[in-house]
Structure formats: structure tokens, C-alpha cells
Chains A and B, each alone.
Chain A
Amino acid sequence: MQAAPDIVLEGINLDFDGQPLFTDLTLTLAGGHTTCILGPSGCGKSTLLKLMAGSPNLDFTGRIRFEPATDSQVAWMSQNDLLLPWLSLLDNVLLGARLRGELSRKKQAKALALIREAGLTGYEDKLPTTLSGGMRQRGALLRTLMEERPVILMDEPFSALDALTRVRLQNLAARLTVGATVVLVTHDPLEALRLGHSIVVLGGSPARVLETIEPAALPPREAGNPEVTALYASLLKRLMNGETA
């Protein structure tokens, strides 16, 4: 895998339905770190992620750079697991390689190793419809990791899971994405505080960075960590009051 780059957004302007969503938004996300983007629904978190993914459907001005520039692009994981229902778990994990015509024994061995690491051994040949929601999302995480991209973009990847499964999957994701530049969009302050090296709070209209939080301890942090608890309480209060930092 290449060195994980910084993601630099400069002077981003983007309108949505005739309303400005971002006006001159500038933001730098540190390479090799997990940045959680937190904010209320509709504030443009997911759109920001799509911009970083190079979506051709967004009409914007400004610059998005990866520093240092990378050849291979990003890997993507969304709230919907997007597993192909006609492929087995293993084939879904290998989807990127299959789509690029790069299937090999080496890739297959790596996919199997990842499946083992995620505790899904024995389910390699199962179809997604026979798996639980948590297992499917683990499959989606493994498919993302198989891409071996230096930048991983995650759009509320754990929000549809029950609390226990969510914590387990968050820990797994944190463990397996060490070293990559991860951008994780979430509306859950606790998730952001557990997983992010830094937490960027978006808000307002047009959206701007209200504050950036950088907890001292390294992620993943326990929910009972005193720093997390204190930050969670104050952050939640500010978000509920719609206050700026």
C-alpha cells in the first residue's frame, strides 16, 4: 500500500437545489489518521465524502488534492453493505479484483485471511441473504480493505447496526485500517469520539467547520474512557443547542 496522503480541500463551493451547501470551504485531513466528520443530517457530510471520492455527478469549484499524490484512488464503504446477492461472501470480498480482472490465488489467500481475522471463517461460501446484518457489514468492510487503498472513505458504515455489533465492528475497523487515511462520516458523537484521531464538526448553512476536536488518547477509545465521556457530554450539549465552538 502506498503512503497514506493528506487530503486537502481548498475553496470548495457547491450548490445543492439552488442553495449553497459549501462556500469557500477549506479543510485539511491528516494522512494516516482517522478523521471523523460529524454533523447534523443534511449538513453536507456525505456530499463532502463523495467529493473526495471524485464523484462525477457533483458540480463544484475549488480543489481537492491528495498530498503526496497517489496513483490508486480511494476505497469506499457506505451504510448499505452493497454486497452483491448473487455472489458468495468470498466473491464479494474479492469484488474489486474481479471487476478489474485481477483475480489471483494471492488475492484469494488474502481475502481468506481477512475473513478469518474478521471471525467469518465458515461463511466464505454463504450468500449475503443468509448472513446477519453485522456479518454483511463485516463483509463490506473486508471488501473495502481488500482494495489496499491509502485512503478509505466511510459513509456512516455502522449506523444500521445494533449497539453491540456496532462497537465490535468499530473496533475491527479501527484495528484493520491502522496507517490509512480514513475519513468516517457519522452523526453519532460517541462513534466519532471513539474512532477519530480528530473529529471535525460541521454545521451551519452553508456548512462550515464549527470545531475540530483532537482527543489525547489513541483510537479506538473505550466508551468509558473519562476523556471520551467528558467530550461526549459537552459535544452532545453543543450539538443539541446548535452552538458553535
Chain B
Amino acid sequence: MSVQLRAGYHVNSNMPADAYLIPLKLTWAAGPLQATEIVYPKAQMEKYSFSPDPLSVFSGQFDILSKFKVSSTATPGPTAITGKLRYQACTDRMCFPPKNVDVALQVDIVR
């Protein structure tokens, strides 16, 4: 999954250092495909005027890789899997409430 943020915005990485910060998280619903691993890019450590320490963030364009296992009971043919991307974005002056975005992936299961 490719993510593009507007210039000047950042989201917390999947592993922010501060426990109060909301991490970026991609989850997939149970279905014919089972997510076995979500691979996030390497976080950037950025310094902002509002934080004494650098923050672990993503900005600009980045990709999240999902690895799936096909269920043994999956029916061959085209299907879709759905998931949610949770993120919380900020600029260097303000932050925006956390959001959950629905995501979907079209796949074709073959034997």
C-alpha cells in the first residue's frame, strides 16, 4: 500500500517513542486471506519545534507491505479483503484527531 502525505504533514510511525502518541497501524479483517506480517518502512527521526526529542515519524510518500497466507478453505476466484489504516497526523504547529481509513484489496485466488 502506497501512502502519500501532504507537504508539511507527518504521521507517527508504527513505533512512536512516546506511549501517548498514536502509532500508524494497518490491520486486515479476517477472510480468505490471513495477514501474516505487516512491514512498515524505516521511520524517520525528525526534530520539531514542539518536541525536545526527535520523533519517530513517516512523511512524504511511503509504502506499507502486507504479507498474506491463503486459507485452505478459501474459494478460488476473485475476492476482496478489507482493512483499516489508523493514523494520527500533525504539522509542526498542530495535530489532527486520529482517523481510521477503510482500505480494500482486490485479489484473485487460484489453485
Genuine A/B complex? no
Residues in chain A within 8 A of chain B (CB atoms): none
